[in-house]
């Protein structure tokens, strides 16, 4: 057995990891090299998507979970999804969506040091197979 500590929303957790003689054991739930659980990264991305700054996110992680995270670490996590976002933005769309829904909702966002209300518009299309897709 070997042990490692991972950060989670419940604080730091010490794990005992099984080993075999050949060194071929691969943990399935928490892969080798992982020092933080995916739920922390999802929380960071959700807070960032909600308009919080990296410093605000660091403060919130410490307040809620007792996790100390640097602004650099938070930036690395948020930057890790940029490729996924670009891939989604540039994905091919169907030529026809028989049904389309358009809506908007208002959010408070920080802009130039002030809080402003902005409208976020959403387009949802239903394709010929009846599958809903967020178009933008």
Q: Give yes or no: residues 6 and 73 share one domain.
A: yes
Bridge partners of 125? 100, 133
Residues 96 and 129: beta-carbon distance below 8 Å: no
Q: Which domain holds residue 27?
A: 2-89
The verdict on 49 and 18 lying in the same domain is yes
Query: Between these two residues, 6 and 89, which has the higher pLDDT value?
Result: 89
- Position 29 confidence tier, pLDDT thresholds 50, 70, 90: low
Mark whether 74 and 17 lie in a shared domain.
yes
Compute CA 133 distance to the chain's CA centroid, rounded to the nearest angstrom: 20
User: For 86-121, what is the HEC assignment?
Assistant: HHHHCCCCCCCCCEEEEEEEEEEEEECCEEEEEEEE
Q: pTM (2 decimals)?
A: 0.55
Q: Does 68 reside within a domain?
A: yes
Whether 51 and 112 share a structural domain: no
3-state secondary structure of 102: strand
Whether 94 is in a domain gets the answer no
Asked whether residue 41 is domain-assigned, the answer is yes
* pLDDT computed for residue 20 by the predictor: 78
Tokens of 10: 């419940």
Inter-residue contact 12 to 6 (CB < 8 Å): yes
13 and 44 within one domain? yes
Q: Are residues 13 and 64 in the same domain?
A: yes
Query: Tell me, what's the pLDDT at 104?
Result: 95
């Amino acid at each position: 057995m070997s042990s490692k500590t991972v950060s989670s929303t419940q604080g730091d957790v010490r794990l005992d990891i099984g080993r075999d003689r050949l060194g071929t054991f691969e943990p399935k739930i928490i892969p080798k090299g992982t020092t933080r659980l995916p739920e922390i990264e999802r929380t960071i991305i959700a807070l960032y998507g909600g308009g919080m700054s990296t410093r605000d996110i660091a403060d919130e992680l410490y307040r809620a979970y007792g996790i100390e995270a640097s602004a650099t670490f938070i930036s690395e996590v948020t930057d890790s999804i940029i490729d996924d976002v670009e891939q989604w933005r540039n994905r091919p769309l169907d030529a026809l969506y028989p049904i389309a829904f358009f809506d908007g909702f208002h959010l408070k966002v920080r802009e130039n040091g002030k809080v402003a209300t902005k409208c976020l518009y959403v387009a949802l299309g239903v394709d010929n197979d009846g599958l809903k897709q967020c178009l933008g």
